[in-house]
Chains A and B, each alone.
Chain A
Amino acid sequence: MSRTDDPVALDEWYVVGRPEDLSIGRPVATRLLGAELTLGLAGGAVTAVETETGRALPVTLAYGHVWTTLGTPTRGLPPIAEFDETDRRLATCGAVHVRASGLRLVENFLDMAHFPFVHTDILGVEDRPTVEPYDCEIRRDVDEVWATNCRFWQPQAAANAAGGQMSDYLYRVARPFTVLLYKTCPSDPARQDVIGLLIQPTDEDRSIAYAFVLVVDAVSSTTEIIHFQQTIFLQDRIILENQRPRLLPLSPRAETPTRADLSSIAYRRWLKEKGLRFGIDRREAA
């Protein structure tokens, strides 16, 4: 397919790679919203060009990743205050390719009910499958979807977890394809680790997922932190690749009620309000 004409999708910033994966003189081909892009390094700066037209695209380096846009975003990247805290460590986990709409990836990330069955004995245990009530709202002041007061029993909540803990979660969908998670830090219950899932929607039904972890963890090696996240995400990848349709239906009735939980309903309503079309199953649209 060629570049989408969906203005809502075009007018956003997206991650398209990591700076350390670019080297001088070796352009990298990638895709965004159906358009071919060429990334490169020129004079120490990262460049992004829409391959077909030769148009230079704006580039921002932030949160360990390269961001660009094909349109004219009305707002910048989502602010993440924890990046200013100097005792935190950032680990970026690379790129994982998934044959599914990026919106499916966000919705899976929001769904706690799958922890015991998909991330068995890591993020959940099969004999404690219940998702306790939590709060969810579309925050009009920042135009984000927040799920708060989420609690889940986790046998191994992070790479440095010495045992099980009741994890407190806060989910923040900052942009349609960008979602953040704040969860109890195993080494300091007063603080929260930040995990980001940054999605590059290459095509409507294909995505590249980038994850970062911004943690207070003096114990684990960066490799251990990355491997922990890769393990979790590859468990999700199998589920995501087998979901049908690959695009996200907006009607909650289109799928089983267990998946269409509170945060999923809010997320879908928010996407509908925005009028986003890219990555959405439009067959049911009435």
Chain B
Amino acid sequence: MWSWSFTFKVLPKLLSAAKITFIATILGFLLASILGLVWTFLKRAKIHWISSSATAIVEFIRRTPLLIQLFFLYYTLPSFNIRLPALTVGIIGLGLHYSTYLSEVYRAGIEAVEKEQWEAAKSLNFTPYQTWTLVILPQAIPPIIPMMGNYLITLFKETPLLAAISVVELLQQAKIIGSEYFQYLEVFTLVGIIFFIFSYPSSLLVQYLEIKLKNPAEKRM
């Protein structure tokens, strides 16, 4: 059933498509990290309509499928005269979707910083910007690194959805090869294995970090 010669024939092709998967993962996560922070600040805004609309938007994005969000971006952006390569659209979609998860993580991290730290910053007459960059974030970020790591892994496993908007990443490449030879077993199994050998060790690493940091942010959640 399983053909090793076929396996070795298609493996290089799959691995080169895996490059796209990794690019999408890394850039998508980068975008999510930054955008997540933006949401966190918007949700904390003193002006009520800003904070409440940010909360509503984040909730909406979180409760709807990434797949539709990708379709939405892919098919409607051009009608606003924004023409982007599919991979870029995919990265934006992934980044936007996961930014909502990361904003929760940041919130937990920030809330875990003791309120005395804010008072200390005030007593030293720091500006708000200084308070955030010098006092709060340096304490809020390290404990949430494992949780961020978890979302990096989750995002990585969601990249196959980009196939739906014609990005030829790992899974799409496998499907193309599979239908060409009408031989799906090897390609789809290989894709699964490739995902597994990246995500499983990473999740072990995250667990290790979690234990090591004894994550104070998580206790609050």
Chain B binds chain A: no
Interface residues in chain B, defined as those with a beta carbon under 8 Å from any beta carbon in chain A: none
